Chains A and B, each alone.
Chain A
Amino acid sequence: MSRFLFRSTLAALALSLIAPALAQETRSVTAANGTFDIPVAPQRIVALNDQIVALPLYELGAALVGSAGRVDADGKTFLRGGMDTLGIDYSNTDIEYVGQFNALDLEAIAALQPDLIIGGTYTDPAVVDQLQAIAPTLVIDNGTLGLIETLRTLADVSGQAGNFEARYQRYLGNVERTKSYIGDTSAISVTTTFMFPAGEELWVYRSNLGAIAQVLSDLGFAQPAAVAALEDPQAPWSAELIQELDADFIFGFYRQQPDATPEAIRAAYEKFAPGWCQALTACQKDQMVLLPGPTFGSTMAGLDLALDLVETHIAGRPFIPFKEAK
């Protein structure tokens, strides 16, 4: 496509002559998909995932102009977790909808004239290649990086590194405070689960369940042997083995949606494993906490909220410790 290359070079030349003011200072960064020259201070960022990319960027004060989102039953688009965590949505911000994370609208992204695009390993590689024509498109492998490093990377590439470090230090300080309230956290075991609203599957998370998993690991809690031994960060769990999940505390997550109320989730557990509450000492002793999921997305606000919750539920209260059978 030499003719095309020639034309676009010409176009680029023309542009740079007309509007030298637009030319930005750039620097080189390395992401999961290679090394790219990105603006030092990006002015128009598009996020290819709402929960993992858009929310933390917005929270850090980055210049976000578009994000992938979801479509609800009425066909209305929304940012998953946006209202729950930060009180934001397409309707009350300048963020534009650019498709669903696995069905992106390339033209909507181009229309926003972004100077930086951020996606992940969930983004179709072909789409990433296409987007490189519009703006440097970074793949940030949040699964490998973990929540904190993902936030740090997002802050770094969006030019908000200072902002992140300040908030992170404050969070670490709070973690120490909570630890001092709880005492020896390594002697307390905690399990995180995720229940589907109709009780068809129960997932167990060793790590990777947003802010709450991060907080639990930062606080230094132990995990039941079966969970710690998981090869993958998460796995669907057999109902027969639900007792292997027993711990001092169980945090049971569910996705907040019209048909997934706390009552419905309790019923879902009962359907999944009849007599579950009898089987789990944590549940018997009221040391099992049901929590809606999106509220604890991968944001600094989510971390702060999760830390507060863990502190309220575990610190300064008597509880009956669970002894794992050997």
Chain B
Amino acid sequence: MSAIAAPHAGTHPVRAWSGVPVLLGVLLLAFLLHIAVGAKQLSLGTVIEALFNFDQTVFDHVIVRNLRLPRAVLAVLVGASLSLAGALMQGVTRNPLADPALLGLTSGAAFAVVIATSVLGLSSMVFIPWIAMLGALGAALIVYLIARLVPGGATPLSLTLSGAAISAFLSAVISVVHLLDQDTFENLRVWLTGGLAGRDITLLLYVGPPIALALIGGVLLAPRVTVLAMGDEVAQGLGVKTGALKIQLLAVVVVLTACSVALAGPLGFIGLVIPHIVRLYVGSDYRWIVPYAALAGAIYLLGVDTIARIAIPPREISTGIITAMIGAPLFVQLVRRRTR
């Protein structure tokens, strides 16, 4: 499969290091902006007071502390998770078009949650992340297996096609479930559009620890992904146990995707677009791509969610629709640049 251009040159460590404080600074700014603006205009003084001198009887403080702050945290976690998961997937499959949504993981997780709540009647949120993980894992394995079985192996084309096919299949099943049981389904309608509004923050208790572990794990595994991206033979030649590494990476990707879906519903294209933008700056070294992608993904989702909240008050736009509207044209641009 020679249709995908080879990665470019390596990264200069000084340049790479210099970007980290900048990104951290931008992340902080985006985070503060997310907290400072919203459907209701609050003075900066109120915002600061809410953060450092919280009075729960003042609703303006509650808005900052209990509505905006958790949602910003959510945006950071979900943005970082999806983007990091995308970066790892792109490395491990050597496929610049890999993304949790494109390769069916997101719809797998969504499908599992829909079936569990609608058909099996499970509604306890303790189970939701685990069910989502099972779904994402199942979908990932099926998509990869199909792509492997295709003559020519798991190429970007075969992976994207089998991902699209599995997603189409799962969404058809979801639609049938919907038709057979409209009332229960109404409850999942908002969740299925994907977004950060009205999410269950207490879910963070269950989902936070695995996400944190997986994010750290992803960053730690990143240096070996660079080797893996050069090809299995090269990696094995350099003493990397490719099989074990791939399983570890799959676990990280599945946990990140499933927890993101459990938190925010299906959000597309973040994992695809962000790593590529990052690559423009840091080149092809996954040691840098992975942490950069996590930071940039968090910034991106914070920005998108800020727009979603303030564009047309008193309403809010679904974050999922905006990520798709921004992400899909970038994807097209990527296909243009990357394949010939």
Q: Which residues of A contact B (CB under 8 A)?
A: 70-73, 75, 100, 103, 196-201, 204, 226, 235-244, 255, 257, 259, 271-275, 278-279
Q: Which of B118, B181, B190, B309 contacts A196 (CB 8 A)?
A: B190
Q: Decide if A238 touches B187 in the complex (CB within 8 Å).
A: no
Tell me the minimal C-beta distance from A304 to chain B in angstroms: 27
Q: Could you tell me if B315 and A274 are in contact, using CB atoms closer than 8 angstroms?
A: no
- Nearest neighbor of A260 in chain B, beta-carbon distance: B187
Q: Is the CB of B190 within 8 A of A240?
A: no
Chain B 48-73 residues near chain A, CB threshold 8 A: 56-57, 59, 62-63, 66-68
CB-based contact B314/A244 at 8 Å:
yes
Q: Given A238-B309, A239-B67, A278-B62, output 18 extra A-B contacts at Cβ < 8 Å.
A: A70-B183, A73-B181, A196-B190, A200-B190, A201-B190, A235-B314, A236-B315, A237-B315, A238-B316, A240-B63, A240-B67, A240-B68, A241-B313, A241-B314, A271-B198, A274-B62, A274-B67, A275-B59
In the complex, what residues of B have CB within 8 A of residue A244's CB? Answer: 314
- Are the CB atoms of A71 and B198 closer together than 8 Å? no
Which residues of chain A come closer than 8 Å to B191, judged between CB atoms?
198, 200
The docked-state distance in angstroms from the alpha carbon of A272 to that of B316 is 13
A73 touches B38 (CB 8 A): no
B187 touches A241 (CB 8 A): no
Least distance between B64 CB and chain A CB atoms (Å): 9
A12, chain B: closest CB distance, angstroms: 36
Q: Is the CB of A200 within 8 A of B182?
A: no
Q: Kindly state whether residue B9 has any CB partner on chain A within 8 Å.
A: no
B39 on the interface (CB 8 Å rule)?
Answer: yes
| Chain B: interface size category | 20 to 34
Asked if B22 CB lies within 8 Å of chain A CBs, one says no
User: 1/0 contact trace for B155-192 toward A, CB 8 Å?
Assistant: 00000000000000000000000011111101100110
User: Which residues of the partner chain A approach B68 to less than 8 Å between Cβ atoms?
Assistant: 240
CA A30 to CA B308, docked complex, whole Å: 43
Q: Is B123 an interface residue (CB 8 A)?
A: yes
Tell me the total A-B contact number using a CB cutoff of 8 A: 89
B40 lies within 8 A of chain A by Cβ? yes
- Are A273 and B67 closer than 8 Å at their CB atoms? yes
Q: Which residue of A lies closest to B42 (CB)?
A: A240
Give chain A residues whose Cβ lies under 8 Å from the Cβ of B277.
Answer: none
Instruction: Report the bound CA distance from A237 to B313 in whole Å.
Output: 8
Residue of B whose beta carbon sits closest to that of A271: B200
Q: Which of B123, B198, B309, B315 contacts A200 (CB 8 A)?
A: B198
Contact A275 B316, beta carbon cutoff 8 Å: no
Q: How far is the CA of A273 from the CA of B62 in the complex (A)?
A: 8
B187 surroundings in chain A (CB, below 8 A): 196-198, 259
Name the A residues within 8 Å of B182 (CB-CB).
70-71, 100
- C-alpha spacing A70/B185, complex, angstroms: 12
0/1 interface trace, chain B 24-45, chain A, CB 8 Å (1 if under): 0000000000000011100000
Q: Which B residues touch A197, using CB under 8 A?
A: 187
8 A Cβ contacts from B281-326 to A = 309, 313-316
* Contact pick for A199, options B67, B180, B198, CB 8 Å: B198
Residues of B with Cβ closer than 8 Å to A? 38-40, 56-57, 59, 62-63, 66-68, 118, 123, 179-184, 186-187, 190-191, 197-200, 309, 313-316
Are A275 and B62 within 8 A (Cβ)? yes
Identify the interface centre among B118, B187, B198: most chain A CB within 10 Å of its CB.
B198
Residue picked from A103, A200, A274, most chain B C-beta under 10 Å:
A200
Q: Distance in Å from the Cβ of B113 to the closest Cβ of chain A? A: 13
Q: Which residues of A contact B313 (CB under 8 A)?
A: 238, 241
**11 interchain pairs (CB within 8 A)?**
A71-B183, A100-B182, A198-B198, A226-B314, A241-B40, A255-B186, A257-B183, A259-B187, A271-B200, A273-B67, A279-B59
Complex Cα spacing A237 to B312, Å: 11
Contact: B315 with A235, CB < 8 Å? yes
In the assembled complex, which residues on chain A have CB atoms less than 8 Å from the CB atom of B316?
A: 236, 238
Contact A238 B315 (CB under 8 A): yes
The 8 closest A-B pairs by CB, nearest first: A279-B59, A238-B39, A200-B198, A274-B66, A240-B40, A200-B190, A275-B62, A240-B39
Per the bound structure, the CA–CA distance linking A241 and B316 in Å amounts to 11
Contact of A279 among B62, B190, B197, B198 (CB under 8 A): B62
Contact of A72 among B183, B197, B200 (CB under 8 A): B183
User: What's the minimum C-beta distance from A272 to chain B, rounded to whole angstroms?
Assistant: 6
With the chains together, A88 CA to B238 CA distance in Å? 75
Question: Is there contact, CB below 8 Å, between B197 and A200?
Answer: yes
- Given A70-B182, A279-B62, does the pair A237, B314 have CB atoms closer than 8 Å? yes
CA distance in complex: A278, B61 (Å): 12
Tell whether, in the assembled complex, residue A238 and residue B314 are in contact, meaning their CB atoms are under 8 Å apart: yes
Query: Which of A196, A236, A278 makes the CB contact (< 8 A) with B57?
Result: A278
B181 and A72 contact, CB distance less than 8 A: yes
The complex places the Cα of A20 from the Cα of B191 at a distance, in Å, of: 58
